[in-house]
A = this chain, B = another copy of it.
């Protein structure tokens, strides 16, 4: 007897989250027992509200699939919805089970980060406690690369490639004038410094900048930061610095007041720009790579997209063929040269609500750069370029609707 499966996307967008969606969709085609693949609109909210679409009706051709893989963000929408504990409030769970039963859904795949794995864990706990045979499997996704148990996360490699590519262009831009300058580039990663650290990859091509890299995993001192810059200025006319948005420079997040007299979150980049201008006195600018770094699909990593698709397909196999539930799929790096990863499930309880930080042993003694081990870890993840389809000079995106 045939059954259906459902898939949803959650949390912040990446360039690879639609590739994982495609992977689940494609993976299901390998099983005769699977009939429909439902896409849930706006993450778990779509399951709660029975707001589903039949993916076969929207992904109808190989061209659709190809475009979808290279389209950034979440084509099904996303959410930041946190399930209550079932023993405190069962309502959502009842509605979810109702949706699953009404649509004959026997397996649910949730593509997301740390918070989404909390949903996977809670749902799986609920199913097991109530003897309901519906599998729940997590598919990792985050540009922050901060999920435990997995070597890296889909979406990270593309973000890292965007950061490296843009940073290299910013470095070119910073070197044009004959006067000394400081360029501070603020990179995403509220708690973990992986993406900021990945800016070291330019070294592999002989580029000495960024001259300093500051991560939230090490204590940050504004005085040390200024000293580091002064030292770098003895060697380089245009000093370029990569800082994680998550570094704690006390006051940095609340020191700016707008026209209404309200203080608001200024980025650490802008904060440090003002301090450097005040204390060092040369030309200083700060640049935020902003949301472009998480949705820059036109410069996505082919390795990342292919792995994201593959891990989605493996998730289906894990639930349907191996019968596992309450797991998150992970990458295990088998070898670095040649680069090769296996995909294996882990207990979602080991990932949910937990974060994996950048290893402190990969930060140099000075606390202002990363080691060769970090470089070797990052390099394979940004390799390869997808062939982008252009129309009127602009990349073509897959769109469900306007």
A-side interface residues toward B, CB under 8 Å? Answer: 13, 42, 45, 71-74, 77-80, 161, 164-166, 168-170, 172-173, 175-178, 201-202, 204-206, 208, 251-252, 255-260, 262, 264, 266, 270-271, 274-275, 278, 285, 287-292, 294-299, 301, 303, 379, 382-385, 388, 390-397, 399, 402
Contact = CB atoms under 8 A, between A and B. Distances in A.
Given A392-B204, A392-B383, A393-B379, A251 B256 contact: no
Given A169-B295, A175-B73, A394-B165, A259 B251 contact: yes
B208 A402 contact: yes
What's the number of copies of this chain in the assembled complex? 2
Given A74-B176, A257-B256, A299-B299, A170 B291 contact: yes
B72 A172 contact: yes
Nearest to A252: B259
Contact of A169 (B45, B259, B298, B402): B298
A332 B163 CA distance: 38
A158 to B, nearest CB: 10
A394 B205 contact: yes
A275 B258 CA distance: 10
Contact of A255 (B201, B258, B393, B396): B258
Nearest to A291: B173
A393 B397 contact: no
Given A176-B74, A259-B255, A205 B170 contact: no
Contact of A177 (B72, B78, B262, B396): B78
Given A13-B176, A169-B292, A256-B258, A384 B393 contact: yes
A169 B296 contact: yes
A395 B252 CA distance: 34
Contacts of A294: 173
A67 to B, nearest CB: 12
A66 B161 CA distance: 22
A393 B402 contact: no
A172 B274 contact: no
A257 B271 CA distance: 11
Most buried by B among A74, A78, A176, A204: A176
Nearest to A203: B392
B178 A77 contact: yes
B396 A205 contact: yes
Contacts of A291: 169-170, 173, 285, 287
Given A177-B77, A177-B80, A288-B290, A393 B164 contact: yes
Nearest to A382: B393
A182 B259 CA distance: 19
Contacts of A73: 169, 172-173, 175-176
Q: Which 8 A-B residue pairs are closest in the complex by CB-CB distance?
A: A255-B259, A382-B393, A73-B172, A78-B176, A169-B295, A383-B393, A173-B295, A204-B392
Most buried by B among A178, A295, A393, A395: A393
Contact of A262 (B79, B266, B274): B274
Contacts of A285: 291
Contact of A178 (B45, B175, B208): B45
Contacts of A71: 172
A173 B299 contact: no
A257 B260 contact: no
Given A287-B291, A382-B392, A385-B390, 20 more contacts: A13-B172, A45-B178, A72-B172, A77-B176, A77-B177, A77-B178, A78-B177, A166-B296, A169-B296, A172-B295, A172-B397, A173-B295, A204-B392, A256-B257, A256-B258, A259-B274, A260-B274, A287-B292, A292-B292, A299-B299
